[in-house]
Amino acid sequence: MSSLSHHFAGISIKRLSAVETERHTSNQHEFNGTGAMKGYLGLDRRVFPAAFIYLGENEEDRLALDDQVTWYDARERHPSRSEHRLYFRDNEVMQKAAEGDTLISALRHDGTMLLLILSEESPDRSEILWLFGMSKAPDKSFTTIDTEKVTPQSNALFNYVAESAGLEIEEDPYDNWLELMLDRFGPRFPKTRELSSLALETLGQDINAIEIPDESLVRLIDREEEMFRQLERHIVSGQLRDKAETWANDVDEFMQFSLGVHNRRKSRAGHALENHLEWIFLENGVDHQRGAQTENRSRPDFLFPGVERYQNPDWPDDKLTMLGVKTTCKDRWRQVLNEARRIPEKHLLTLQPGISEHQTTEMRQASLTLVLPRRLHETYSTTQTGNLMDVSEFIALVRERQSLQL
């Protein structure tokens, strides 16, 4: 997996102060730089095209715009002292920023910058800080990230988080699986199950669902994501070339096409995760049923041991288990609470790192236990980990309940 240096030339993160955000008390439109920032922004005065993004407490409270920032030395005439600052013009994104919000300032390799504001109330805050290699709450002065040392724990997860936040991340240009996929499927998008099977086939002996289910799940997800992105780039780039002239005169049609690309990614990611979990459960000999219908036509993603036992009133409730599956939770975790009502204790598998303590407390109070691949547990605080399970532990729980059925 590539390090953050593949995507960014430099990243610095800080907590915004009152003087940087209070428009009524200050006309300051700049941030004080640090010595480390000179390492990637330079010493000379430079103007950078910049994307400003604000992420608030919900999907509706988001804003993005293009502007510019200026990196300059406020003491450039002083013979021995320098004081570099990053100047921004007043804009709608910065008007929404408040004291205590997080600012991520990042320089891309193409010479453009990203200025991302995370509200203190943003549900994306923890996972985006994780994405940018920040393991603790930022200080009031910039902390510069060593991008060479920060490697995403999962490329697929990196993509999910970036897309969820509306960030455009440069993709790996290599197409090392493209020829295989074109030979197998032709220039089309295969069914998700077909691509999941091919991902499993290519990994072969590198995974083991019984001995290392957590690591096997992450590797499968990463491999399929890598394959899909390569095939998508091949197919979509051709569509863009063929229809460029048409879309230049029909913005609505282009927007519909773009939305289709986005929705395909989200739908495929969710189904792929379920496909790989199903393989792991089968390999472990765990009785289960995928997408079984329970009360009010609800369909939990996985029901253990299955709907026949679930609908048998003589079957003990404590021998039943359900598992919801969502690549990222956001507020959608509550949907799981209304599924399989015979089962009071719910389980939800997700790939979302660093869910806020407020949300995990709500989950615990609602008798919902999060299941995450083991490597993601470190993105949660010690107060949260008591209510987390990994895939191996979940399998052990289900097998124990099923062994008591015999």
Q: What is the pLDDT of residues 206-243, one digit of tens each?
A: 999 999 999 999 999 999 999 999 999 999 988 888 88
Q: Which residues contact 382 (CB under 8 A, 6 or more apart)?
A: none
Domain boundaries, the chain: 4-151, 178-279, 289-403
Sign of the alpha-carbon dihedral angle for 146, 147, 152, 158: positive
pLDDT of 303 reads: 97
pLDDT of 127 reads: 82
Q: Which residues, in sequence order, are bridge partners of residue 373?
A: none
Which stretches of the chain score pLDDT less than 70? 1-2, 23-28, 77-80, 165-166, 168, 170-175, 404-406
Fold of 4-151: At1g16640 B3 domain (2.40.330)
Domain 178-279, CATH class in plain words? alpha beta
In CATH, what number does 289-403 get?
3.40.91.80
pLDDT of 178 reads: 95
pLDDT of 162 reads: 78
pLDDT of 175 reads: 67
DSSP letters spanning 172-199: P---TTHHHHHHHH-SSPPPHHHHHHHH
pLDDT of 136 reads: 75
Residue 267 CB: number of other CB atoms within 10 A? 11
Strand, coil or helix: 103 = strand
pLDDT of 406 reads: 45
pLDDT of 1 reads: 54
| 178-279 matches 4-151 in CATH topology | no
Q: Which residues contact 302 (CB under 8 A, 6 or more apart)?
A: 274, 277, 278, 281, 288, 289, 290, 322, 323, 325
